[in-house]
Structure 1
Amino acid sequence: MKILITGANGQLGSELNDVFKERTGYELFFLDRKELPLEQTNLIQDILGMYQPDLIIHAAAYTAVDRAESEPALADQVNHLASEEIAQYCRLHDVKLIAISTDYVFDGNSANPLSEDAAVAPINTYGQTKWKGELAIQKWAPHYIIIRTSWVYSTYGANFVKTMIRLMKERDEISVIADQIGSPTYALDLAQAIMLIVESDKWENGIYNFSNEGEISWYDFAVAIRDIKGLNCKINAIRTEQYPTPAKRPKYSLLDKNKIKTTFQVDAPNWRYSLLEMLNKL
């Protein structure tokens, strides 16, 4: 099977590389932003045609959430229009598509874990462009699986965990938001879940949620990072209003993962276990 993976140098793309290189029976093509410039949508189908994949794992995205507020056209080009081009290629050539989306398609006003059919109402440009990308994939791709995930981190790339470690080593005291609730996702766990779907004898079109298990705030996450690393830094819990950002964040985006577990027998480890594993690797 020929598999083409976008976002080769991102957190998930890097973890997918590690996961799939140990498997046999695949011809893998990892494309970075130079090889597949998503903002140049007129080139996408021709580039994909050079590889003629059987399956595309679309992990690339415009993920600079705050910058998207001042670059809405670019965010839309990458997250929405590029996804539409990929989905149309899949339709023309009967290719399967696994695409990664986000908890930011929700408004954050729920009080219960969000299922795949929960009402979508993004409150920032990033979430809006990712949602439009989801709609385009559902419209055009004949065989699609969309995986919504949240709070992604990895030993690769820049992320919350690495930032917290750096700040806690530099400072005696930091402040972290305590009223945004969700669950982190170790990109390696997501990569392994994707591999299980690829190797499953089942394919069911639809949207699926995946993150690690557990319900925490960013503050809880930071405290756990500090304690596991044995760092001496005071962490103050603050409200969202005390740390204004260009883009609004959903206050609650805990994802219900029952659908992906039952459909594909995917395991979602507890966030603390995965954090410990990642920090040991780091």
Structure 2
Amino acid sequence: MMTLDLNRIIGIHGVNIAQIFMSRILILGSTGMLGTMVSRYFLDLEDYDVALTTRAPGQESNESYIFKFDASVDEMDSLIQKVNPDYVINCIGIIKPEIDEANQQSISNAININSYFPLQLSNNAEVHKFKYIQIGTDCVFSGNTGNYVESSFQDAEDVYGKSKIGGEVVHNYKKVVRASIVGPEIGEGKSLLNWFLSQEKNEINGFKDHLWNGITTLNFAKIAHGMIKSDTFSQNHQHLIPKDIVSKFTLLEYFKNYFDIDIKINEINSDKSVNRTLNTENIEFNNLLWMNAGYDHVPTIEENIKELAESDISKGILS
């Protein structure tokens, strides 16, 4: 579609010239919760030359922009030389539900993908001079106190959180945007949203003593786009926070209301309260990220869930 539009306006030679100057974006991991949203969002844009990776059997296609890549076995440098990106967005990661802490191989795999792979990617960014966006997680913190800022001590108590600490090390050409994320997945999925949607007509519990101030995968895609479009990079961590904080019970209520799910949610206390809420020492940069992403104000969590539910991309993922 992009080429046809340019061809009609400026001719085939103009197309060739325009494509030379288009930023080339490589999205690593296009089939997980984050990667699915980010890849579909960027493919809908007409301003970039987008390449994706997948490791899922059968996901390869004849499309020239899709590359088979398994971060656990394949050579990163070879992929980078093929694509020659200006920007890389890393959506590859082993999430908490996929880690068996009683299994050493599972632990090793988590460390390899969540710690060593981002470090390898940082080194490639240094060599090949591309800019690299890494999603961070609130799970590098224990959740015992909350209100964590960028300089707070990272006191994760589980393998997932500890493995993510290694992958979030500051490096030249790399920007770590730390946030907790929710969003739709293809198929059954393992995320909070997909689990919730599978519980329709059931009765579930929502914890009022688990506090949250994360973002959606659509928010992150738009934030990444804004960073690339405005070249808003700095070599440090940035906590990305919305306007407010909610309980997990309230978050589930937002899911119920905006995804229109028939379900009963009981508001209860858990066995252990959890508060991994983030704050930031760089509130102006936080606000700038939201503005560059196209928001005219820092949105509330409810506004973000409403936007996610109404998004055509979300509907396509869940269909």
**TM-score (normalised: structure 2):** 0.75
- Counterpart mapping for 1:170-249 below 5 A: 171=202, 173-228=203-258, 231-241=261-271
Q: CA deviation at 1:153?
A: 1.5
**Farther-moved stretch of structure 1 (60-69 vs 153-162):** 153-162
Determine the structure 2 residue equivalent to 1:4. 26
- Counterpart mapping for 1:1-282 below 5 A: 1-34=23-56, 35-40=68-73, 43-65=75-97, 67-69=99-101, 70=103, 71-111=106-146, 113-135=147-169, 138=170, 141-154=171-184, 158=189, 159-169=191-201, 171=202, 173-228=203-258, 231-241=261-271, 251-256=274-279, 258-264=283-289, 265-266=291-292, 267=295, 268-281=298-311, 282=315
Counterparts in 2 of 1:199 and 1:232: CA distance versus 1, 3 Å: closer
Q: Which has the larger radius of gyration?
A: 2
**Farther-moved stretch of structure 1 (6-15 vs 258-267):** 258-267
**Farther-moved stretch of structure 1 (3-12 vs 255-264):** 255-264
Q: CA deviation at 1:23?
A: 3.2
2:195 maps to a residue whose letter is T
1:272 maps to a residue whose letter is E
Paired residue secondary structure (1:131): helix
Structure 1 moving runs of 4+ over 6 Å: none
Paired residue secondary structure (1:176): strand
C-alpha distance in 2 between matches for 1:207 and 1:259? 14
Unaligned runs of 5+ in 1: 243-249
Higher normalized contact order (CA 8 Å, seq sep 6+, divided by chain length): 1
C-alpha distance in 1 between matches for 2:124 and 2:164? 19
C-alpha distance in 1 between matches for 2:54 and 2:243? 30
Unaligned runs of 5+ in 2: 1-22, 57-67
Paired residue secondary structure (2:309): helix
Q: CA deviation at 1:263?
A: 4.8
Deviations 1:62-90 (A, max 9, x none): 11346242421110011111111111111
C-alpha distance in 2 between matches for 1:66 and 1:59? 15
Q: CA deviation at 1:231?
A: 4.8
CA RMSD of aligned residues (A): 2.4
Counterparts in 2 of 1:229 and 1:43: CA distance versus 1, 3 Å: closer
Q: CA deviation at 1:119?
A: 1.7
Paired residue secondary structure (2:275): coil
Deviations 1:76-130 (A, max 9, x none): 011111111111111221221111110001111224x322222211121111111
**TM-score (normalised: structure 1):** 0.84
